[in-house]
Structures are given as C-alpha cells and as structure tokens.
Amino acid sequence: MKGAEIVIRALEKEGVDTVFGYPGGAIMPLYDALVGSNLKHILVRHEQAAALAADGYARHSGRVGVCFATSGPGATNLITGIANAFLDSVPMVAITGQVATPFIGTDAFQEVDIFGISMPVVKHSFLVRRIEDLAGTIHEAFQIARSGRPGPVLVDLPKDVAIAELDIVAFDDTPDETPARPDAHQVATARQMIERSSRPLVYAGGGIRIAGATEELRSFVDFTGIPVVTTLQGIGSVPSNHELNLGMLGMHGTKQANIAVQECDLLICVAARFDDRVTGKLKEFAPHAKVIHMDIDPAEVSKLRAADCSIVGDVKVALNFLHVRPQIDEWKSRCLTNKAEYAFAYEHKTEHVYAPKMLRDLSVAASNNTVISCDVGQHQMWVAQHCQFQAPENHLTSGGLGTMGYGLPGAIGAQLANPNARVINVSGDGSIMMNIQELATLKRYNIPVKIVLFDNQALGMVRQWQELFFAERYSEVDLSDNPDFAKVAEAFGIPAVKVERPEQVDDAIQQILECEGPLLVHVMIDPRENVWPLVPPGKSNTEMMEAKAV
C-alpha cells in the first residue's frame, strides 16, 4: 500500500465517514487515494472553512472531525479553525500535505513549518517521516484528539512518505483509555458541602456536552432542586425551559443568573473554567461562595479561582454520587422570583424587526432537533439569550476564540453529521462575509442549511462598545455599503427572502421551517439596537448595564 492509501484505510478504521478539505500539490497523493474509498469528501472553498466545518461536525456528533489541506498556505489557512477547536476543546484531526522530506528546511515551494506554527493551538502535532509509522500515527492522533479533554491534533504528511509503498501494514486498534474515576474522598466532601449549604448554585460549562454528561447533570439538578446557570458553551445542558434554569451568566448573561451567582454560598462548577467573560471582575465573582470544581482536566481546577473541593475525573461518575437534598426552599423561591421579575420582554417599540423576538419565536416554533450554528457578535448573544435549546449539541458557537465566519461552515458540518436535523446558521452582515464563499458548498451538495442573516449595516458589537466606552467615536464599523445579500445568495443558486418589517417575520419563519433545501433570509434590523444587559469590562457582575440606563 502507498502511504496515502494507508491514511485513508486508517481513517476508515477509525469510523470516519466525512472529511472536509481542499486539494493542492503536496496533498495530491491523499486525494488520489480518496478515489474509490468509502469516505465522503466535502470540497469547501477555503481551507479555514474545512477546519470550521470539521469543528461543527464534531461538536454536534461527538465524533472526531477531520479536515485536509495542502502545504504552505493551505496548512496556514487551517490554523484559525484549529485554534477555534483548541480553545473550545473540540476533537479534530487535521492532515496537511508537506514537501518531501529531503526538501524540508530548504524554503521549498509552499513549505512552511506547520508543525511549529500549530504547536500552541493543538493537543499534539506529528510530522511523519517514515511510512512504517503512518498507520500507528493516525490511530494515536485520534486517541489523543478524543481522550481526556478533547482537542485538535495535526498530522503533517510529507509527499515522499505519501507516495512510498509498504508491503505489510498493521493497523492499531488499541482502545482509548477510560476517563479517570473521581477521588472518593473528594466526592464525599462535596456531598457534605452540598448538604450543608443554604444557597447552592450549579455553574454548568461546555465540558458537560463533551463528557456526554447531560443526563447525569439533569438528574442531579432534578434530585437536588439546585438552580442552574450556564456558560455560553453550557447552554442546553439543562433545557432552556427547565424551571430551575436561570439562563446564561456573565457579560451578557441574564440578570437573575448574575444575581444568583453573587448571592450563592456554594458554587458547584461542573466542567467550566471561570472564563473572564463569565466572571467579570474575578475578585468579586461569587464573593460569598465556597467552590466545588469538577473537571476532567486537572490544569483547570483552581487555575483562576481556588477550589474548596476539587473533583478531577469523569464528571458523569461524580454527578451520580452527589444526589443529596439540601434544605433550600427559601433560596430556590428567591431565584425563581428573580427569574420571573427579570424575564426578557419582547414588546419592543420599534418600526424595525426586533431580532431577539424573531429568534425567540423561531426557536419556539422549531422542533427539538433544530440545530443553531452561530457566528460572532451581537446576534451570537441574542441567540444565547433568547433561543430555546433542549440539548447542548444543538447550540454551536465559537466561544474561546470568538471566530467570525464560524457559523456557516459549522452549520455545514453539523448538517452532514446529522442529515435529519434542521440546521440554521444565524449570522450578521459582518460575520457572513468572512466565509460567504461557502454558499457554493451549500449549492454543490444541496445542503439544506437555513441562514438567518441579521443586517444592521455595522460591525454591531464593536459599534456598541464604541458607543458605550469610547465616547461614540465610531471607527471603521460602518458597513452601509453591504451588498444585497438576497441577490448574492441567488447568484450562488440559493433561494432568498428579504425581511424589512415586523409583519413579515411570521411568514419568514414559516418558510424557514418548511423549505426543504438551503435558504437565506436577509433580515434588516435597527443599526442602533444593542445587546442588554451588559457587564462593563473590569466590573463586577453586579454592575449590569441595562437599556433604560443609557
């Protein structure tokens, strides 16, 4: 077998069915080996989209996403998508072509040290110099990508290794290591802390989805009756309509969630990492609370906030042993009263389409298997605040890196992972232009992703910050020369509708729900609309700005 054939066979043995990529010189042997294989290759129109689509595939399915690119610019174009997966702990294997081994280090055509470039944003990088190591390297890459705290792994494949031949190939099939079991003493300590607390609160993060611990978390919440707040990545780990779900916390979190954090006496952090967008001013975050921190990654525990009880290991196991019933009726009543009092109001005096109401109505009308893949900006926060999610794998968004342009390729990846799901990309007029070329991918494969594009003719989140914190000195946020996005979609062969008035919203939602193929809905919104509430940078989460205060 040639080296490239070994790679394809190894991917098939790992259970891979779909890969995303873009061919070129150094990776061409791998593309030759694809012919006649069982792998479905999706030709994207930019390598960044290949990595982001692999990311969306992995987030929604729980399986390892795979992407290919050639050497030089092909490989460097993957880096943003790889970094996106690294910061959000998404399992991915990226395979890049490389110049032949004799030319490495000679500044050959399309040669870059992608091994070195990628090192800060991967769990591990491989440069395969011998064909004998190839099958084992692919297997090890997958094991590393999906074990423990998942993440991306890069395999750099020199062209001479890809075309070399090997008579006998042994494919490794050693199983992954099982997650570490939590320490029994720490679990017992946590049980006592929960039992003795009078104002406990669950702080649920994105690691719940990664660990497959959604049912365990819900069982724990239902048994204990403890209210829950979630991070951006933790949305859906407890259903949005669950009575005890107070919503997202942090910079654009709900008022009731941030108040609960500041008043609780025990913070049960489950697979979250005390991110700065969550904590605000760290020294004043949950000031009265003891902390139980549960995570698979020991490096995260006590990294930013010292834990009074550390539970390192499989959170699924730990949650099952924490079923105690603290006496918290008064606390629960207070949290639910705040939830009712500070609930979002959707009666908004405006002649424009009100994006939060449209998103709320769309998510209520959609079925539970609807996936929303979001870009980055104001619309991202509106989705987090106002859409209803019944499962964490149905909310796809770039958290740690905040990658504009994530939404469309992420949606493509999720749709291909689950062809029976309804997948919606919510984007903005700034974000959509980052990877708008992937409309061609939608058309080529007739991928039925629906795009809801909110157009405020500005880089909305940057404009909001310049309004509030830079004395309205607006700098390079004007997008009033946007194209007609409906016509752009139609030029790609994708049907589109334009929504300019509130009375058109219901019909647009109906079209989104009934259209069988891809569709773009271009929604014009008020350029002055801001996201509320907002915790100013460097402030405590108690110092939330609201619309009426501006």
Same structural domain, 311 and 400: no
Same structural domain, 15 and 93: yes
Q: Cite the active site residues.
A: 47, 109-110, 159, 461
| Residue 145 resides in a domain | yes
> Per-residue pLDDT tens for 51-62?
999 999 999 999
Residue 391: partners with Cβ closer than 8 Å, 6 or more residues away:
214, 236, 368
Domain containing residue 7: CATH number: 3.40.50.970
Q: Given 314, 341, 368, which residue is the final one in a domain?
A: 341
> Per-residue pLDDT tens for 263-279?
999 999 999 999 999 99
| Residue 139 resides in a domain | yes
Angle in degrees, 0-180, between the axes of helices 378-386 and 460-469, rounded to the nearest 10: 100
Q: Is the pLDDT of residue 20 over 80?
A: yes
| Residue 222 resides in a domain | yes
Per-residue confidence (pLDDT) for residue 379, from 0 to 100: 98
Per-residue confidence (pLDDT) for residue 173, from 0 to 100: 87
Domain containing residue 233: CATH number: 3.40.50.1220
> What's the CA gap between 544 and 268, in Å, rounded?
23
b/e per residue 155-172 (b: at least 16 CB within 10 A): bbbbbbbbbbebeeeeee
Q: Is the pLDDT of residue 79 over 90?
A: yes
Q: What are 112's two structure tokens?
A: 């870059």
Neighbours of 129 (CB within 10 A): 15
Same structural domain, 29 and 52: yes
| Residue 72 resides in a domain | yes
> What's the CA gap between 523 and 94, in Å, rounded?
35
The answer to whether the CB of 200 falls within 8 A of the CB of 187 is no
Same structural domain, 327 and 381: no
The overall average pLDDT reported for the chain is: 96
Same structural domain, 196 and 238: yes
Q: Is the pLDDT of residue 177 over 50?
A: yes
Compute the average pLDDT of residues 156-168: 96
Nearest one of 457, 453, 430, 454 to 519, comparing CA atoms? 453
Q: Is the pLDDT of residue 368 over 90?
A: no
Same structural domain, 20 and 116: yes
Task: Quickly state the pLDDT bin for 548 (edges 50, 70, 90).
Answer: low
> Per-residue pLDDT tens for 480-513?
999 999 999 999 999 999 999 999 999 999 999 9
Q: Is the pLDDT of residue 470 over 80?
A: yes
Same structural domain, 467 and 517: yes
The answer to whether the CB of 154 falls within 8 A of the CB of 114 is yes
Give the domain range for residue 329: 184-341
| Residue 13 resides in a domain | yes
Neighbours of 334 (CB within 10 A): 17
The answer to whether the CB of 400 falls within 8 A of the CB of 88 is yes
What residues are paired with 125 via a beta bridge? Answer: 154
> Per-residue pLDDT tens for 312-339?
999 999 999 999 999 999 999 999 999 9
Per-residue confidence (pLDDT) for residue 550, from 0 to 100: 36
Q: Is the pLDDT of residue 101 over 50?
A: yes
Per-residue confidence (pLDDT) for residue 549, from 0 to 100: 41
Q: What are 52's two structure tokens?
A: 């982001």
> Per-residue pLDDT tens for 411-431?
999 999 999 999 999 999 999
Per-residue confidence (pLDDT) for residue 367, from 0 to 100: 85
| Residue 28 resides in a domain | yes
Phi, psi of 129 (to 5 degrees): -100, -15
Same structural domain, 157 and 191: no
Per the structure, the count of domains in the chain is: 3
b/e per residue 35-50 (b: at least 16 CB within 10 A): eeeeeebbebbbbbbb
Percent of the chain scoring above 70 in pLDDT: 99
Query: 3-class DSSP state for residue 112?
Result: coil
Q: What are 464's two structure tokens?
A: 């909001």
Same structural domain, 336 and 368: no
Same structural domain, 471 and 407: yes
| Residue 488 resides in a domain | yes
Per-residue confidence (pLDDT) for residue 243, from 0 to 100: 97
Same structural domain, 425 and 514: yes
Per-residue confidence (pLDDT) for residue 350, from 0 to 100: 84
> What's the CA gap between 382 and 424, in Å, rounded?
14
b/e per residue 453-474 (b: at least 16 CB within 10 A): bbbbbbbbbbbbbbbeeeeeee
> What's the CA gap between 414 and 392, in Å, rounded?
13
Nearest one of 31, 56, 29 to 449, comparing CA atoms? 56
Question: Tokens 């959170």 identify what position?
Answer: 315
Q: Given 341, 376, 397, which residue is the final one in a domain?
A: 341
Same structural domain, 303 and 422: no
| Helix, strand, coil share (%) of the chain residues, nearest 5 | 40, 15, 40
| Residue 174 resides in a domain | no
